[in-house]
Amino acid sequence: RATGALAGRHVLITSGPTHEPIDPVRYIANRSSGKQGHAIAAAAAAAGARVTLVSGPVSLPDPPGVTVVHVETARQMLAAAEAALPADIAVFAAAVADWRTADAAGQKMKKDGSGTPALALVENPDILATIARLPAGRRPGLVVGFAAETENVIAYATAKRARKGCDWIVANDVSQSGEVPGGVMGGDSNAVYLVAAEGVEHWPMAAKSEVARRLVARIVEAVGPIAQE
């Protein structure tokens, strides 16, 4: 039997980017490395939780002691997250592509002189909002979202928390002029604000692994131990 402050808890985590196909060889994506989400999965497992990590395409190894479901697209990520329920805690660290192509081509698009193709896009489902808005009982007791911003970090994160229906937002400044020299995306450091109903905490720059441990420690405080019978 697992020991640790999260023993007996199931934690669902999304991490990494999604890839939205244009044709069999091309896709739309973003700069997420998955480092922060994978670090949270590792920290939750180290605290004794049963962890399901739904990961988009990343070049990171699967964290030890974690059940990893590998997906490519936002729709696959939503399906895998829903299939992983019930969960006590859910942390949505993935950088999901906001849009996918309306119609991915079945064959490689050719540069055949007939002009430049136009990409028609449609909106992807919002995985965080979908799961945060599930009815009580099916909704994880603690739902945590992320917000990557380049300005007005706290104001945007506060609005995002309300809009998505989640309990906490972990917000960071991903601009080049932010607190982390060289930027957050792809790097090993992060500096965040934890935005909750009770207020806002600033966590100054630290290794992503340290931010993950700190978030897991806050989760432990919030959910408490499972009563022993």
Using CB under 6 A, list all residues that contact ligand C5P: 14, 74, 92, 94, 96, 124, 126-128, 145-147, 160
Is 164 among the annotated ligand-binding positions?
Answer: yes
CB of 56: closest distance to ligand C5P in angstroms? Answer: 10
Q: Using only C-alpha atoms, what is the Rg of the chain? A: 18
**Closer residue to ligand C5P, CB minimum distance, 52 or 124:** 124
Give the residue with the Cβ less far from ligand C5P, 5 or 185. Answer: 185
22/18 Cα distance (integer angstroms): 13
- Which runs of E-coded beta strand occur in the chain? 10-15, 20-23, 26-28, 50-55, 67-70, 89-92, 99-101, 121-123, 142-149, 168-173, 189-196, 199-207
Q: Is 62 annotated as a binding residue?
A: no
SS percent in the chain: helix, strand, coil, step 5: 25, 30, 45
Q: Is 167 annotated as a binding residue?
A: no
Active site residue 152: no
Q: Is 17 annotated as a binding residue?
A: no
Q: In whole angstroms, give the CA distance from residue 102 to residue 176.
A: 32
Closer to ligand C5P by Cβ: residue 5 or 139: 139
CA-to-CA distance for 89 and 200, rounded, in angstroms? 20
Whether residue 35 is annotated as binding a ligand: the answer is: no
From the CB of 227, what's the least distance to ligand C5P, in Å? 30
Q: Shortest Cβ distance from residue 113 to ligand C5P (Å)?
A: 36
Q: How far is the CB of 91 from ligand C5P (least distance, A)?
A: 8
Minimum distance of ligand C5P from residue 207's CB (angstroms): 20
Q: Which residue is nearest to ligand C5P (CB)?
A: 127
Q: Which is nearer to ligand C5P, 140 or 145 (CB)?
A: 145
The answer to whether the peptide bond before residue 86 is cis (omega within 30 degrees of 0) is yes
Residue 110, annotated as binding a ligand? no
Helix (H, G, I), strand (E, B) or coil at 39: helix
Strands 199-207 and 189-196, sheet pairing: antiparallel
Q: Whole-angstrom Cα distance, residue 173 to residue 184? A: 8
Three-class secondary structure of residue 86 per DSSP: coil
Q: Which of 54, 53, 88, 49 is nearest to 73 (CA)?
A: 54
> Which entry of 30, 152, 172, 190 is annotated as an active-site residue?
30
Nearer CB in complex with ligand C5P: 44/96: 96
**Binding site for CTP: which residues?**
98, 108, 125-128, 146, 160, 164
| Active site amino acids | 30
